[in-house]
Structure 1
Amino acid sequence: MERCVKCIMPVTAKGIEFDEKGVCQLCNEYREYVPKGEQALREEIQSCLQSKAEYNCIVPVSGGRDSAYALYYATKVLGLRPIAVHNDNDFETEAANRNLETITKRLNVPLVRVGTKKQLSKKIVAEKFKMNAPFGAQVIVAQTCEACQFGFESASYNTARKSGIELIIWGDSQDESTAPYHKLVQDKPPTRLRRLLSPAALHLFAYKYYFHCMKKEYGPDSPYGLKEIHLYDYIRWDQRVIVDTIQEKLGWSVPDGSPTTWRIDCTLIPVVNYLTEQAYGVSKIELGFSNMVRSGKMDRDDALRRIDMIKRNTDIDKLRSFLGTIGIAESAIDKVIARPVQIKPVSMEVQELSA
């Protein structure tokens, strides 16, 4: 497959064009992000550092790589006394759960797990899938991760308020953001009105309304607003440093045979990765790896090798089976994930030919 000669964006990616040298427009327009620096970070958190409270910040953790390093950095580098907060979203991998217990014990940090008895996140994902399936993979992908996003923010805000904490440190990074690509292809689905009229949408709107009311009351724009800091806006995101540190010092690990350390925390990722490729002609992990190659934080050949492993290991039957376990009917799954073609063996009678 033809790909950008600088990153690994494939020619099949919607909206991507190559110049005469074989370079995509994202590479041509790329400008390196310069972090604000640790000194600026320390100035931002100075009042929290001076606090004599038992705990002075919240670090949301998923069990994945970047949030694990954020917890390490807050504790060991900045000298903060954090509470680690995890949103039990019903989709954690075994590796994520193991890492959550291991890293918090190594750092002697309390872990608060916030979930729902009725598996709300799972129900929201299933309802969104059923609601959006008639409109294609693009609409599903755009909303699949909302329940987790809302859940993490809700869990973090509520824990901060209950504990009298004013600071939340997030472990997301611009290096892994797919926003630049999606701005390039920011199509508005032509079916918005039909989606609004869907009966399943009414339940989801109530959930979104609750979240935005909560954010207005608890979030940074409220009169008693929390301060939210994104760690990698201040320090350089370096995959090698992050992985080496959390593996050596915290005992963080990935599942055996995993081709990547990225997003090993969520069982939905293979589905999101597959549907993103169906919608845009490029998988979510290809977008992430392209960012890393573009910024010089991942070797291009290494990225291609890992992508090849991921694609070869994609099992459509397993994706369909997984979606079925969270309550999605086969009729909805069929709309966006085709059944694998079953090739029946052909019996042939061999007749002996005479000379």
Structure 2
Amino acid sequence: MTRDIAKDISRIPTLIGSEMPNQVCVRCLYDISIPGVTFDVDGQCSYCALHDRMDIQYPTGTRGELALEKMVDTIREAGRGKEFDCILGVSGGCDSSFLAHEMVRRGLRPLAVHFDNTWNSPIATNNIYTVLDQLEVPLETLVVDNGEYDDIYRAFIESGVRDLEAPTDIGFMATLYMAAERHGIKYIVEGHSFRTEGVSPLGWLYMDGRYIR
């Protein structure tokens, strides 16, 4: 979760709480069992309110294009005199592949970084190399020790925690930050959309790096 989004959460108007058993949001599937959820007088949950707030803060269309152009200019200026303008996280999926194309189209010089947990599908691996080769974007990859990583995931499964993907999420972000520090790069870019993913309740998530020691 970015710092801006975290601020958004604190700015959302206080909603009228409800202790009604089995209350379900009139707009989505969340109910009273979700940690920290509240409902307004119309029966809409606080997560839908958060989504609407973010929808305004991160617009699409003309306003979104203007904001994107401004950010591209900022990233380009920060990279002046350096080999790269920014770090680009890549996975071989649609989001990061499109983002790589879009960044190059807009004149940025990204360094692609990939966290390989040894579970990549052949299609994802092929996508990474095909896209980056066509765009002439250099790639750095961190490959984990397969045995050690299996032990980490076994520990997560046996502990019964809900967020089993945390090791990969933490490893991915750590790899991006390490690359940025190594190359003296200020900006990190990665592709996802809160409109289509990232919908897990905050009470189900725990992204503290102390999870992995």
TM-score, normalising length: structure 2: 0.64
Runs of 5+ consecutive residues of structure 2 not aligned to the other structure = 1-23, 59-63
Corresponding letter in the other structure for 1:100: I
1:117 — aligned with what? 145
SS of the aligned residue for 2:171 comes to helix
Instruction: Tell whether 2:99 aligns with 1:70.
Output: yes
| 1:222-277 alpha-carbon deviations (Å, 9 max, x no partner) | xxxxxxxxxxxxxxxxxxxxxxxxxxxxxxxxxxxxxxxxxxxxxxxxxxxxxxxx
Give, in whole Å, the separation in 1 of the partners of 2:116 and 2:148. 10
Counterpart residue type for residue 63 of structure 1: G
Return the TM-score normalized by structure 1.
Answer: 0.41
CA distance in 1: counterparts of 2:210 and 2:31, whole angstroms? 37
Equivalent of 1:89 in 114, 117, 135: 117
Distance 1:40 1:22, change over 3 A: same
1:73 Cα deviation (Å)?
A: 2.1
Q: Once superposed, what is the RMSD of the aligned Cα atoms?
A: 3.6
| Other-structure match for 1:177 | 198
DSSP-derived class of the 1:171 partner: coil
Deviation at residue 115 of structure 1 after TM alignment: 1.0
Name structure 1 gaps, 5 residues minimum.
134-139, 189-203, 209-355
> Deviation of residue 28 (structure 1)?
5.7
- Distance, in Å, in 1 between the alignment partners of 2:212 and 2:30 is 37
Does structure 2 retain, via aligned residues, the 8 Å contact 1:75–1:81?
yes
Distance change (3 Å), C-alpha of 1:14 and 1:38? closer
Cα shift readout 1:285-332 (whole Å, capped 9, x = no counterpart): xxxxxxxxxxxxxxxxxxxxxxxxxxxxxxxxxxxxxxxxxxxxxxxx
Alignment match, 2:74:
44
Identity among equivalent positions (%) equals 25
Whole-angstrom CA distance in 1 between matches of 2:188 and 2:40: 43
One-letter identity of the residue aligned with 2:74: E
**8 Å contact 1:74–1:82 — kept in the other structure?**
yes
Q: Partners in 1 of 2:30 and 2:176 — Cα distance? A: 38
1:310 is aligned to none
Shift of 1:82: 1.4
Q: Is the 8 A contact 2:115 2:141 kept in 1?
A: yes
Deviation at residue 163 of structure 1 after TM alignment: 3.6
Letter paired with 1:97? T
Q: Taking CA–CA contacts closer than 8 Å with sequence separation of 6 or more, which of the two structures ends up with the larger relative contact order?
A: 1
Equivalent residue letter for 1:116: V
Aligned-partner residue type, residue 155 of structure 1 = T
Match of 2:162 in 1: 141
Tell me the secondary structure at the aligned position of residue 129 of structure 1. helix
